[in-house]
Amino acid sequence: MSKSAPIIYTKTDEAPALATASFLPIVQAFTKSSGITIEPKDISLAARILAAFSDFLREDQKVVDALAELAILVNKPEANIIKLPNVSASIPQLKAAIEELQSKGYALPNYPDEPQNDEEKSIKSRYEKIKGSAVNPVLREGNSDRRAPKAVKNYAKRNPHSMGAWSSSSKTHVATMSHGDFFHNEKSVTLPEATSIKIIHTDNQGKTTALKENLDLLKGEIIDATVMSKKALIEFLEEQVIDAKEKGVLFSLHMKATMMKVSDPIIFGHAVRVFFKNVFEKHAAVLDKIGVDVNNGFGNLLSQLDELPEATRKEIEADIETDLKNGPALAMVNSDKGITNLNVPSDVIIDASMPAMIRTSGQMWNADGKQQDTKAVIPDSSYAGIYEATINFCKENGAFDPTTMGTVPNVGLMAQKAEEYGSHDKTFEIKSDGKVQVIDTNGNVLLEHNVEQGDIWRMCQAKDAPIQNWIKLAVDRAKATQIPTVFWLDKNRAHDAELIKKVNQYLPNHDTSGLEIKILSPEEATLYTLKRLKNGEDTISVSGNVLRDYLTDLFPILEVGTSAKMLSIVPLMNGGGLFETGAGGSAPKHVQQFLEENHLRWDSLGEFLALAVSLDYYGNVNNNEKAKILAETLDDATDKLLETSKNPSRKVGELDNRGSQFYLTLYWAEALASQTKDTELQHHFKPVAEDLKSNESEIINHLNEIQGVPVNIDGYYAPKESLITEAMRPDKIFNDILSQL
Ligand SMILES: NC(=O)C1=CN([C@@H]2O[C@H](COP(=O)(O)OP(=O)(O)OC[C@H]3O[C@@H](n4cnc5c(N)ncnc54)[C@H](OP(=O)(O)O)[C@@H]3O)[C@@H](O)[C@H]2O)C=CC1
Ligand SMILES: O=C(O)CCC(=O)C(=O)O
Ligand SMILES: [Mg+2]
């Protein structure tokens, strides 16, 4: 047998990284005898920082740039990558990670907020590449197929998660802009030929500045550009603050400052300044002098107050209190610690935060730690309507019932940095009034906007090949499932209108006979889908990149309680496979609980599901029958894990991630020992299955008994490996059994 390419298993951050410390050795033990190599690649935030600043480090501290290696691999047919969620760092997180690494002896430069010279500028630009969502867009060289496997749906039907009741008198609502935002200002064209463009700003005196040059575009590519008016945004935010106060609801802001790392922090900053208007008006000079930048959240102001003379600090603190008292109540992230929705832009991320609110009766937490109706401020109106429609639906019909509701799989356009999620290098905060134009090599103006100082202008791209691939994937899924399939596209929106032309052009290339395929605007699609969902009927959503992200948290969270239980496949355009584990994030709250009481409530179901598809894919590509059997038996083990409710509990002293992984291991070994297709595997796993079974209660008792005390892993972003291993693999009997393999 010639040596096959390995399966790559990413090491990431926070809860998934902890879970990996326990699960990866299990996977390596189980696959070894079948000639499969599972190769870890560290793409954690800490590793990415170290890789980017190698030249600052001692020889023995240098690490390889694993993300750069994977960026090459994803374009090769042999790619087989299991991708766990990673931190998309906001600036406060990035700074915390740098500080932790510095304290561990890495001579990294500080993050220069306001670079003073060329060297600092270069350091900042190196950090910018690590900031925000810097991993997923690089690896996602394919479109996205996310769905809840049948076993997961069935489990939720038998064991429904809690669903907060909805009242028709709920005051919760979405507030979004009616003019001047990205949605209303969008313009779009499809390129008839390949070209190269530049983006030029011209001020009112006629002075031109190139914002971007030499951007090559392909034939058939859709480009769009739009602008968020600063004036309109501030006016809107001011109205919402007043309205929230009048209605007696919490004020909450829902953005994607991690993924939309250029535009959304700017919008976040405006919201903070509007909310704390008096503080910023009265103390503008002082706050400016100490370099307060609330694009990184209100927490940035709080953390810098210490630099001020006591009298000034006290005065500002008093004014903050006044603004808080006079304004509407703010939604809280952690009311015990006084952390508000406006403190850190990465604490409330729209894809997870809106569904969590909808699942909780449309309420968020107030300063007293009590639930309260909420105004959800989502400034840009491109997608806010889907949440508004969902909230209205819940007010009319009550909460969804997980025991009877249907399911909504998603096929998402994602490849090659499609749409808004690839727009960061073409997003600009406008320096002066004038116009911005997109101009091709022949001097044709393709798109143009009048702009004012402070506006946010951006351009997005969606290439033809990924779009064709996305349409094919949608038809494939519709055929495989025979479920009605809806393209969520708005003919009244410039970009979507171009995309609809392509859907109409390329759909006839496929045999769609007998399939129900529609195109509906996001609001119409929401209503159509929700009605069916309530009736227990399934509907495939086919969406652009942002809605892919939003819908694959919204529906899973309502249907199965968390998007961690999703199967999340990215068939890569050049032939390989990227298997994401779940559709959610890295669950910082889980780490907090783990450190406090040695209980990790992270559910590794997403990892189990992804590994099974990865092994099956490996088996097919490499003609490795053993890999296919490992995949089948792993799926059987996962089904049994669900049937026997061996997922982690949320409570200390009960089964946690480690115990749940023990059961997966036991069931997997038993399934391998009882299959008869491959006797070698059968004999190999029989003694292991027996040993695991006979030691089950001892191992589980031990894993439960050690809980209830704090754990030290020496760090957050770069914890000490040996301490993580000790914490995540604490049971000697279990470890010894695995080492027999
Ligand atoms: N694919 C990726 O790489 C993604 C990365 N992220 C990153 O993750 C971080 C956190 O993002 P956030 O928006 O808070 O979203 P998360 O998905 O991490 O968390 C939201 C909540 O979902 C629940 N949850 C998520 N995963 C699991 C799991 N495996 N088992 C059990 N419960 C789970 C938890 O609920 P509870 O606390 O009630 O248990 C958690 O608090 C950010 O840095 C973000 O950028 C976010 C999305 C995707
Ligand atoms: O990459 C990120 O920052 C988040 C990704 C995400 O939320 C998703 O793909 O669902
Ligand atoms: Mg998401």
Residues 122-152 pLDDT 10s = 999 999 999 999 999 999 999 999 999 999 9
Give the C-alpha distances (Å, rounded to integers) separating 139 from 84, 254, 313, 551: 12, 26, 45, 20
Pocket test for ligand 2, best of 83, 84, 133, 144 (most atoms within 8 A of CB): 133
C-alpha 252, offset from chain centre: 20
For the chain, the C-alpha Rg in angstroms (whole number) is 26
**What's the gap in Å between 217 CA and the centre of ligand 1?**
35
Q: Are 378 and 350 in contact (CB under 8 A)?
A: yes
**What's the gap in Å between 549 CA and the centre of ligand 3?**
4
**52: helix, strand or coil:** helix
Q: Are 152 and 642 in contact (CB under 8 A)?
A: yes
Taking the C-alpha atoms of residue 615 and residue 634, their distance in angstroms, rounded to an integer, is 9
Positions at the binding site for substrate: 133-140
Q: At what angle do helices 657-674 and 14-32 cross, to 10 degrees?
A: 20
Q: Spell out the residues 6+ positions from residue 598 whose beta carbon is closer than 8 angstroms to its own.
A: 652, 706, 707, 708, 709, 710, 711, 727
Buried/exposed code over 344-359 (b: 16+ C-beta within 10 A; e: otherwise):
bbbbbbbbbbbbebbb
User: Which one-letter DSSP state was computed for residue 74?
Assistant: T
Taking the C-alpha atoms of residue 693 and residue 705, their distance in angstroms, rounded to an integer, is 19
Q: Are 395 and 168 in contact (CB under 8 A)?
A: yes
What tokens appear for 391 in the block?
């909230």
Taking the C-alpha atoms of residue 428 and residue 211, their distance in angstroms, rounded to an integer, is 8
AA letter at 539: T
Characterize the bridge pairing of strands 445-451 and 195-203: unpaired
CA quadruple 309, 312, 316, 317: dihedral positive or negative?
Answer: positive
Q: Identify the CA nearest to 46 among candidates 60, 70, 63, 22.
A: 63
Percent of the chain with pLDDT over 70: 100
20 pairs with which residues across the strands? Answer: none
Proximal ligand: closest to the CA of 144: 2
What tokens appear for 60 in the block?
């023995």
User: Which one-letter DSSP state was computed for residue 425?
Assistant: G
Is the confidence at residue 1, as pLDDT, over 60? no
Q: Are 552 and 564 in contact (CB under 8 A)?
A: no
Proximal ligand: closest to the CA of 134: 2
Where does ligand 2 bind, in terms of residues with CB under 6 Å?
88, 133, 136, 258-259, 351, 549, 552, 583
C-alpha dihedral, 126 to 129 to 131 to 132, nearest 10°? 170
Please tell me the predicted confidence (pLDDT) of residue 563.
97
- Atom 45 of ligand 1, residue of closest alpha carbon: 88
**What's the gap in Å between 349 CA and the centre of ligand 3?**
9
In the block, which residue shows the tokens 């998934």?
Answer: 16
Q: Identify the CA nearest to 255 among candidates 86, 164, 378, 429.
A: 378
Q: Are 605 and 148 in contact (CB under 8 A)?
A: no
| Residues 670-680, mean pLDDT to the nearest whole number | 98
Element (H, E) at 325: helix 310-326
In the block, which residue shows the tokens 């097919």?
Answer: 620
Q: Are 126 and 65 in contact (CB under 8 A)?
A: no
C-alpha 350, offset from chain centre: 10
Buried/exposed code over 49-71 (b: 16+ C-beta within 10 A; e: otherwise):
bbbbbeeebeeebeeebbbeebe
Span 601-621, pLDDT tens digits: 999 999 999 999 999 999 999
**What's the gap in Å between 453 CA and the centre of ligand 2?**
31
Positions at the binding site: 83-88, 133-140, 146, 351, 548-549, 553, 585-586, 590, 601-603, 650
What band does 364 get if pLDDT is binned at 50, 70 and 90? very high
Span 289-327, pLDDT tens digits: 999 999 999 999 999 999 999 999 999 999 999 999 999
Expressed in angstroms, the distance from the first to the final Cα of the chain is: 21
Span 69-90, pLDDT tens digits: 999 999 999 999 999 999 999 9
Is the confidence at residue 692, as pLDDT, over 60? yes
User: Which one-letter DSSP state was computed for residue 510?
Assistant: S
Q: Spell out the residues 6+ positions from residue 12 whose beta carbon is closer than 8 angstroms to its own.
A: 20, 43, 44, 84, 85, 86, 87, 586
Span 50-62, pLDDT tens digits: 999 999 999 999 9
In the block, which residue shows the tokens 């894919």?
Answer: 617
Q: Are 338 and 292 in contact (CB under 8 A)?
A: no
Give the C-alpha distances (Å, rounded to integers) separating 361 from 102, 247, 333, 381: 44, 17, 17, 23
What band does 718 get if pLDDT is binned at 50, 70 and 90? very high
What band does 517 get if pLDDT is binned at 50, 70 and 90? very high
226 pairs with which residues across the strands? Answer: 458
**What's the gap in Å between 195 CA and the centre of ligand 2?**
31
Q: Are 377 and 254 in contact (CB under 8 A)?
A: yes
What band does 2 get if pLDDT is binned at 50, 70 and 90? low
How many Cβ atoms from other residues are within 10 Å of residue 535's Cβ? Answer: 10
**pLDDT, averaged across the chain:** 97
Buried/exposed code over 601-613 (b: 16+ C-beta within 10 A; e: otherwise):
bbbbbbbbbbbbb
Proximal ligand: closest to the CA of 333: 1
Taking the C-alpha atoms of residue 57 and residue 55, their distance in angstroms, rounded to an integer, is 6
